[in-house]
Structure 1
Amino acid sequence: MADYDVVLLVEQALTEQDARQVRSLHDGLDDPVTYHVLLPLDDAAARVEASLGSLSGSELLASPQTPMDAVDLEAVREDCQERSEADLTATVAALESAGATVASSTLVTGSPIDELVAKVKEVDGRETIILTQPHVVAELFRLDWASKARRHLDVPVLHLLEHETFDEQAAGPDGISGA
């Protein structure tokens, strides 16, 4: 019996509920299921930009602007690395707690879709599951991870919303599949 390899691309740490739902998708398969988890490294530059964007114009004008020095940026990078590693560890623990076998877990530093495609090819993946928060605009224009993955892969791609039950996802306007 060959393993049924599933590649998971997750946006953030999975909860116990997320892990149970993922695992439940493969109950009853004859072949043993093995999971490979990919989680993008939190982007330090994006986090700095987002925090600056949350300041109002008057706050920026009222205080002298201090450029971020290399030490500050390195501290943010280290924090991003630590958070991402903790999220990956928590995801693997949640999956294993739900009875899943996790063969590999990787922090993605490049394009999440490129890494997903490479991992599916590397392990001869039979399917992919992408778990994200809702990204309405990206999904509308088919620029979200699931849409991009479907264009590059010849295996089933399932897009699930993190931290929502299947029933909650199915209650949306497009149902679970988003089709």
Structure 2
Amino acid sequence: MYDVVLLVEQELTEPDAQRVVELHQDMPEPVKYHVLVPCHNAEAGVEASISALGTADLYGPGLTEQRADLAEAQKAIDSEATDCTGRSIQRLRDLGQQAEGGISHDRPIDALTATVDKVGGREVIILTRPHIVAEFFHLDWTNSARRHLGVPVLHLLEQDEK
């Protein structure tokens, strides 16, 4: 089995799924795709924003009162990410491919590294929108993955569904 880990920023479109599958159409062994969708941590995001603004002493205590609202927001974020993952997996399966996946609240590169290790990934494909500044400074997922993983890493830009 040739395991490919896909780190996707958002749901795979049909053209993106087709492009990914076409990359492996001549493989001599079966291919299995492992879709990984990073999921934003609402509470950590709010806390980081408050800290970055230097207003933790003003708003930090109020955050405790907002835990229920943040938990509800997190459920909605997780639900959407899970649905996105499911639809992405289904698009690959509709093309006759083996696919599985999940969401992660870890840093994307940490989650990617763990997934590659867990499934014995032999290749990584990262699908994102263009991130010109991050790419220029080599802070994007692709450059980070290339520094941390010992497998080929391909970066594809997401295509609009037409």
TM-score relative to the length of structure 1: 0.74
The structure with the larger Rg is 1
Question: Going by fraction, where is helix more abundant, 1 or 2?
Answer: 2
Partner residue of 1:12 out of 10, 22, 30? 10
Q: Deviations along 1:79-107, whole A, 9 cap, x unmatched? A: 101111111111111111122211x3121
Percent of pairs with identical residues: 47
Q: How does 1:37-116 map to 2 (within 5 A)?
A: 37-45=35-43, 69-102=66-99, 104-116=100-112
Contact 2:3 2:119 in 1 (8 A): yes
Aligned residue pair count: 146
The alignment's C-alpha RMSD in Å is 2.1
Provide the secondary structure at the position in 2 that maps to 1:93.
helix
Stretches of 4+ moved more than 3 A in 1?
45-49
Q: Does 1:118 align with 2:114?
A: yes
Structure 2: unaligned runs, 5 residues or longer: 48-61
Provide the secondary structure at the position in 2 that maps to 1:129.
strand
Partner residue of 1:34 out of 16, 24, 32? 32
CA–CA separation in structure 2 for the residues paired with 1:70 and 1:15? 34
Q: Deviations along 1:25-47, whole A, 9 cap, x unmatched? A: 00111111111111111332487
Residue 147 of structure 2 corresponds to 151
Structure 1: unaligned runs, 5 residues or longer: 50-65, 166-179
CA–CA separation in structure 2 for the residues paired with 1:115 and 1:85? 15
